[in-house]
Amino acid sequence: MAHEIKPLPFDAGSLTGISAKTNEIHHDKLYAGYVNKRNEVETGQKEADLGTANQIFSAWRGLKEGETFAANGMILHEVFFSILGGNGECAADSKIRSTIEAQWGSWDRFVQEFTATGMAARGWAILAYDPSDKKLHIYAADAQNQGAVWGATPLLPCDVYEHAYVIDFGSDRKAYIAAFLQNVNWSAVEARFMAVAG
């Protein structure tokens, strides 16, 4: 069954600091492109000549490399859009907030580390839950298919590729990350966290 493009879950022009134009291009072209390419890769795998597979160059190698890049691009963008549309306020009595404050010592320290990770990464800063140690982590991914940990669930992925902010912020990535955090729907993050950490 083909993967389907999910609609933008908020009005494109409703975010603070992130324009409708950015959201429309980001969702309708970039995210949609990942979904379409994932479908194309999966179709290509059904038709590929497995007998020519090798580690230097082969159609199969290209399909397998493209598979994780397209799939993770699709998944991370779906989570990215699903946790936006809020006011950036995280309820003081939420489990996600108490867990963040216990692990990082304070909310401010978490925001500082998340922002620093977004500044250091070439592709994504991702707050994720890792069931292997039952902790939250902020991972840096230079590309969708690197930098993650097997089994970890993305809760708060921030796309820091230039396409996510250059229209609105030019090269000021730090201002974009601040705007991203102002638009987070922490109830949606909390729901994702409770689903995996209970």
Secondary structure, 3-state, the chain: CCCCCCCCCCCCCCCCCCCHHHHHHHHHHHHHHHHHHHHHHHHHHHHCCHHHCCCCCCHHHHHHHHHHHHHHHHHHHHHHHHCECCCCCCCCCCHHHHHHHHHHCCHHHHHHHHHHHHHHCCCEEEEEEECCCCEEEEEEECECCECCCCCCEEEEEEECCHHHCHHHHCCCHHHHHHHHHHCECHHHHHHHHHHHHC
Which pLDDT belongs to residue 147? 85
Which pLDDT belongs to residue 30? 98
148, part of any domain:
yes
Per-residue pLDDT in tens (0 to 9) along the chain, 198 residues: 899 999 999 999 999 999 999 999 999 999 999 999 999 999 999 999 999 999 999 999 999 999 999 999 999 999 999 999 999 999 999 999 999 999 999 999 999 999 999 999 999 999 999 999 999 999 999 999 988 899 999 999 999 999 999 999 999 999 999 999 999 999 999 999 999 998
124, part of any domain:
yes
Provide the residue type at 110 as one letter.
F
Residue 161: which CATH number?
Answer: 3.55.40.20
Q: How many domains does the chain have?
A: 2
Secondary structure, 3-state, 34-73: HHHHHHHHHHHHHHCCHHHCCCCCCHHHHHHHHHHHHHHH
Judgement on whether residues 72 and 99 belong to the same structural domain of the protein: no
Q: Which residues form the domain of 186?
A: 95-197
Residue 72: which CATH number?
Answer: 1.10.287.990
Judgement on whether residues 127 and 173 belong to the same structural domain of the protein: yes
